[in-house]
Chains A and B, each alone.
Chain A
Amino acid sequence: MSDAFYPRDLNWHPASYSPKYKSTALRSPRKPLLAFPNTLTEKSGPVFGHDLIKEGDNDLVHNYAKAGESAIGPRIMVHGQILDENAKPVPNALIEIWQANAGGRYRHKNDNYLGALDPNFAGCGRTISDAEGRYSFFTVKPAAYPWPNSENAWRPEHIHFSLFGSGFAQRLITQMYFEGDPLIPLCPIVQSLSDPKAVEQLVAKLDMPAAHTMDRLAYQFDIVLRGRNSTLFENKLEGN
């Protein structure tokens, strides 16, 4: 039997209602969340095998490109380790990412930004972490793009990340930003985080030793999922 997860530090996560991020006004639960000790439902989760992933699923430069062609933009590797709160690697985590292209445009019918679509770039990829929790993607650096939240609002360059650990209660979606981007502190979505250290945790670091000479730069981005508390006594929920 797997252990229960540590309770989530909700103050570390963005507030449900973050006034500067306008869309939260009507889409933010306002009643307090109801806590109860993890049951098997929360502790267990779907298992995704490595056989799910085919070669090239983590290569966004080529996974939508015509034969012999590749996506336009600065070529980068994004890599890192999935860890839990106990600093233990999380193997077999399913990682799915999506992003704008190097012109700041998403391949989506609702995105009508002026930035051009790249016929060779879809903007999605996936992989599964290895035995040490490591993962990597090959992609192009997305551009910043404007959005209608407020006057002259721009999203910093970012990649969206979706993560599965070993338990359904670990399910997480977040975004990765790039070291040195001056738009980070100006972004209303980033500002939904109250602790500067929480923001820092989402900023990937330029990783020169991992860059491939004459090919691609590298950014390192480690991700932490909730950990299991092996010292916590099993809290048996009692019915009344």
Chain B
Amino acid sequence: MIKNRPHKESPSQTCGPYVHIGLTPNLVGIEGVIDQDLGMSMLSDNTKGERIIVKGQVFAGDGTVIPDALLEVWQANVDGLYDGEDFKGWGRHPCNLETGVFEFETIKPGSVEGQAPHIAFWLVARGMSMGVSTRMYFPEEQSNADDPVLALLMDEPARLNTVIARKDGNTYHFNIVVQGENETVFFDI
């Protein structure tokens, strides 16, 4: 049952071309306002779990990279818990403003309440009216077969593959296609 809500959510507006001024000012040369850009490093010495690197690019509808894309990720710790001790689970990862590559170090999360291990992604860029949400799953995980979100895509293997990373040693490659033929599956969460 959905009850009536007294307020509407404030509508989204694009982050525009200068989102980094607000979210990662040091990255664009604004120094001295905040000491350190938020969320750039996710690990501490005490973080438990297997260290991994996640790396990729974000693509527009004509196949060009979107270097101004800014991603945020949210993930469980190795025990499948959120915002636990020694691992916040949140990261903010702007793409490289020239190459468009994003790359971050984290740990492989545990499974969360019966779901296969996954990292939630949210991304914004100029030209995107609203932030979009997706997930990255791990290709080696047997439990993907029982994941309730992946189950929604079982009949569409090509779509399903857009949310599964490619593993190369301890590096997971995960490209996000914002628009087009191989468009990444985005979620209405």
Contact = CB atoms under 8 A, between A and B. Distances in A.
B55 interface: no
A104 interface: no
Q: Chain B interface mostly helix, strand, loop or mixed?
A: loop
Contact of A42 (B29, B30, B152, B189): B189
By size class, the interface of chain A is 35 or more
Given A83-B7, A162-B23, A174-B12, A27 B18 contact: no
A125 B32 CA distance: 12
B179 A30 contact: yes
A7 interface: yes
Given A35-B188, A175-B13, A64 B131 contact: no
A97 B18 CA distance: 11
Nearest to A233: B1
A232 B12 contact: no
Contacts of A41: 74, 76, 82, 112, 115, 118, 120, 135
B87 to A, nearest CB: 11
Given A29-B178, A41-B112, A12 B9 contact: yes
Q: Chain A interface mostly helix, strand, loop or mixed?
A: loop
Given A8-B188, A46-B90, A160-B19, A14 B13 contact: yes
B118 to A, nearest CB: 7
A36 B129 contact: no
Given A39-B148, A44-B82, A225-B10, 8 more contacts: A27-B66, A34-B153, A57-B34, A87-B6, A107-B21, A123-B21, A226-B9, A237-B148
18 contacts: A9-B9, A10-B188, A18-B129, A41-B76, A41-B120, A57-B34, A64-B30, A86-B5, A86-B7, A123-B21, A162-B19, A173-B14, A193-B11, A197-B8, A224-B10, A225-B9, A237-B149, A239-B148
Interface of A: 5-10, 12-16, 18, 21, 23-31, 33-36, 38-42, 44-47, 52, 57, 63-64, 83-87, 96-98, 106-111, 122-126, 160, 162, 168-169, 171-175, 189-190, 192-193, 197-199, 201-202, 223-227, 229, 231-232, 237-240
